[in-house]
Chains A and B, each alone.
Chain A
């Protein structure tokens, strides 16, 4: 009897049971009420499908930049006034194949903020003067990225792994700055007309929320939002050159950022994903992982080193990489030490204890990540976007637990190939003799 009661309580406690879902116009809405007082967080997105081969990602970024610069009904200050007078937050960003947004507001302000959201995304005014300002802002952002060793190393690394038509490719900063000089507001208007619409629109609300505060606002604002006709156009696979090394020389940057790795031919929903994820976590997922223990803890060569799977989506491949920061005098020694550690990892594999340890880490971290409304909204949205259903959040822990050490070792050997590693560096680089 008690067992039955416990089972019933467990079922009621699942995300599958607690998350309510409704379809409002083109929008799939998920709603999860939590005990937090007054606060509601949300996360949403729609598929926009920029054509990466045609460089449309830059158009998408600029279009998104224009969303808070005024609509057909309100200028930029009036829009900001709605948010600022309520202390509410609403941000849009270009997220590869989609346009994403997130917000946070006090419960009584949610309908007003959703009205602004709908207005911004559907009826931006694309004022010419505001467009010039948006271009200046984005120029500044590109200049800042040109000052960052981390951005420059990652961007150079992406160009070793992918062609320009792949969503994970980042063009050189100078290329984007030149392109920016040519873009017109007409192109942005046209991009908006062709790529913004209720395509696979998903929004997850979490916190002190109920349907009364979102349903009417969404119905009124987005209920009749038509879909656009753009289709996915991008390369799905990596296209690596021969093994190589690229150096981005940046004066006055004594810390050098390094990226080491290669693309991998699997996606988020692949059967081997969890095994490879767990194995990579053992190598470099957190402070107690092998790379931090060895390269930082024992050798003192770096402040930060991580290994991870990057850019994997349900629709395209991503890559496996180690990211490390090394002071000027330790660059070559650090790279050699990382390569030696990864080789040993691939050759010898992981131990049963390591697998058990990291399973507990990953499932515990997962639990902690669900402690805020923002974290929950993000998880819910990402789960749907990755092609899973809400019950995946309930299954996640069991899926991690089910992975065996043999599966981890198979995945490591199958997908990680140190002989094929590409290396990208950015910072003040010593000239290597010979």
Chain B
């Protein structure tokens, strides 16, 4: 059995600029009192490196028609720089950080954007300085925007090249007709083509504030020094002038199965069967995670045995999106050569019906839990893996979803898994997508 010990949490730091809020699983949360920036600290001295990450609670969820892809576009422009860190001064952000060996990047997703640096611990001050500087100091220059527009269009085209990505976007767009999860994170092509610096500036000024962000510092750190650094660089930034409370359209209840087909050049077909699922912080979320594992994780999973082992699919997977708002529980099968969409879809539906009717066995549940336990230990191997998990918990609305995951998983019963299969995997809230390859010949 895996040890569940986390780093020993010592007494919280008393710091003039911070209020200690809470601790969980070895992670301490502080509030920078001048501007409500949330700061999470996790000392892990396994290697002399640190991950510094800023998670903004903004993503494609906050975008409106005409401005889709804005969060992702801004992610690109945040690297173009500020008055202090800019190519024209020889201080481009990538140059300055990569010079010291930092792994640096940013990702945008539905509910969040994260900017991160994984770097030798002695260079942490540089990462903190740069992230603080671009929190409010991004230039969002019109010339920079134009050169980055074609870069993003190439990124868009790269995505369009991928059959499964096409299918995935089509299913989300069909499943959500009103809520912004309808939009792909990269945006619709015409919005990328037409977005202006003013539009992005407006978006930036609405969401990029300390009180809409969480700073995570994980690795070989001295907690007090880390807080000193955050206070020094972020302390002078003011809070958002208006509370950051996005108005979101609630997705109306789906009352009937939806179907979507993507026909493009390709070789193998694919089927995606997706059901509306609750928000990531919902009490049923862990039972759905375990259901996904029982269905499709490993060779002993139900869908592998039923489909891949019988040569219906080349690959099968299941996942429960754990988002801020209700999302999708989905099963994705890539067809084996010569197989039909009907065969695969029917087999997936049979497997689901079996779980709904008969539940799962205790052995299946234990196997899934064992896998999650091991996975959790593996994810503590190095500060970057921890940061990635923590990032998604922050995005879903509560960073403690990461630290309490294990105990919530342990509490799930076979009855819970059957119940969530019955209550969420229902035809009226299902969207089925098919990728149909069209042969050029």
Asked if A287 is at the interface of the complex by the 8 Å CB criterion, the answer is yes
In the complex, A327 has a CB within 8 A of chain B: yes
Identify B2's interface contact among A38, A254, A299, CB under 8 A.
A38
Bound complex: CA A288 to CA B336 (Å): 42
The reply to whether A250 and B265 contact each other, CB–CB distance below 8 Å, is yes
A367, B366: Cα distance in complex, Å: 38
List A residues 389-427 near B (Cβ within 8 Å): 427
B-side contacts of A328, CB under 8 Å: 157
- Would you call B150 and A327 a contact (CB within 8 A)? yes
Check if B300 is an interface residue, CB within 8 A of chain A: yes
Q: Which residues from B are CB-within-8-Å of A132?
A: 311
Contact of A287 among B48, B98, B309 (CB under 8 A): B98
Set A85, A86, A364, A370: member contacting B100, Cβ < 8 A:
A364
Judge whether A300 is part of the interface by a CB distance below 8 angstroms.
Answer: yes
- Within B141-156, the residues touching A (CB, 8 Å) are 146-155
Knowing A37-B3, A361-B98, A367-B48, say if A143 contacts B152 (CB, 8 Å): no
A252→B264 contact, CB < 8 A: yes
Interface string of A356-369 (1 = CB under 8 A from B): 01001111111110
The reply to whether A140 and B268 contact each other, CB–CB distance below 8 Å, is yes
Given contacts A297-B147, A327-B154, A371-B382, contact A251 B265 (CB under 8 A): yes
Contact present for B46 and A366 (CB under 8 Å): no
A371 contacts B49, C-beta separation under 8 Å: yes
| B440 to A: closest C-beta gap in Å | 5
Q: Which residue of B lies closest to A80 (CB)?
A: B299
A368 touches B160 (CB 8 A): no
Find out whether the CB atom of A140 lies under 8 angstroms from the CB atom of B147.
Answer: no
A371 touches B377 (CB 8 A): no
Do B382 and A85 touch across chains, with their CB atoms under 8 A apart?
no
Q: Which residue on chain A has the smallest CB distance to residue B121? A: A367
Q: Residue A327 contacts which of B94, B102, B153, B367 (CB distance < 8 angstroms)?
A: B153
Check B300 against A149 for contact (C-beta < 8 Å). Answer: no
Q: Which residues 97-155 of B sit at the A interface, judged by CB distance below 8 A? A: 98-104, 118-120, 123, 146-155
Asked whether, in the complex, the Cβ of B267 is within 8 Å of the Cβ of A300, the reply is no
CB <8 Å contact, A299 and B147: yes
Q: In the complex, A378 Cα to B26 Cα: how many Å? A: 29
Residues in A with CB closer than 8 Å to B160 are 254-255
Binding site for A on B (CB under 8 A): 1-3, 5, 45-49, 87, 92, 94-95, 98-104, 118-120, 123, 146-155, 157-158, 160-161, 163, 264-268, 297-300, 305, 309, 311, 314-315, 334, 336-337, 366-367, 370-375, 377-378, 380-385, 438, 440
Write the residues of chain A forming the contact surface with B, with a CB cutoff of 8 angstroms.
34-39, 41, 68, 76-77, 79-81, 83-88, 104-106, 108, 132-133, 136-137, 139-141, 143-144, 146-149, 207, 250-255, 286-288, 292-293, 296-304, 325-328, 330, 357, 360-368, 370-375, 427
